[in-house]
Amino acid sequence: MPDAREACRARRGRKNAGLWGPQRRSQGWTIGGWFTPVVNLWFPMQIMQDVWRASDTEPNGSAGLGRVAAGWWTCWILAWLTGYRTFTARSTAPDGTRVVAEQASFFLDSTVVSALCLAVGAVLMRRMIVLITAMQRARGVA
């Protein structure tokens, strides 16, 4: 998930991209796509793909998107998948009854692998936004 500055730059990039080409998602999904369960698994990727394609002036420039976006999105999904943790709490009630509570959850950054994937994904997202901003500045907007 982007920090506030990157989220603002992504939103501005999406707004500008709407001037040059079709977008699969409305502008509100640029931020909302990160926080809406289930769609957060693919909306942010689609939005960034659309922004890149609309911003790029090179005829075959989307080839560069493939490596950066695929790496970013793979890291993001792996950060979620590797953040799976289980917690077990055991206690004894005042009447001597043993109580065991178990919980399984996904937490970003809760394991070393998840944190590493999140860090690499953040670097790749930053790179993608910098490239998109440069393309949009070349077009006279950004």
**pLDDT tens digits, 83-135:** 877 778 888 888 888 888 888 777 777 788 999 998 999 899 888 888 888 88
Average pLDDT over the chain, rounded to whole? 80
Taking the chain, what is the end-to-end CA distance rounded to the nearest angstrom? Answer: 22
Report in angstroms the alpha-carbon separations of 41 from 36, 46, 53: 9, 10, 20
pLDDT at site 66? 72
Under a CB-based contact definition with an 8 Å cutoff, are residues 46 and 18 in contact? no
Residue 31 has pLDDT above 70, yes or no: yes
What's the pTM? 0.72
What CA–CA distance (Å, rounded) separates 73 from 124? Answer: 9
What is the greatest pairwise CA distance in the chain?
75
The domain containing residue 27 runs over which residues?
4-138
Say if residue 25 is exposed, middle or buried (CB neighbours under 10 Å; 0-12, 13-18, 19+): middle
pLDDT at residue number 4 = 65
CA distance 108 to 82: 8
Q: How many domains does the chain have?
A: 1
Q: What is the pLDDT of residue 60?
A: 63
Band of pLDDT at residue 81, cut at 50, 70 and 90: confident
Predicted local confidence at residue 142, as pLDDT: 56
* C-alpha–C-alpha distance, residues 38 and 32, integer Å: 12
What is the distance, to the nearest Å, from the Cα of residue 92 to the centroid of all Cα atoms in its chain? 42
**Given pLDDT bands bounded at 50, 70 and 90, which one contains residue 32?**
confident
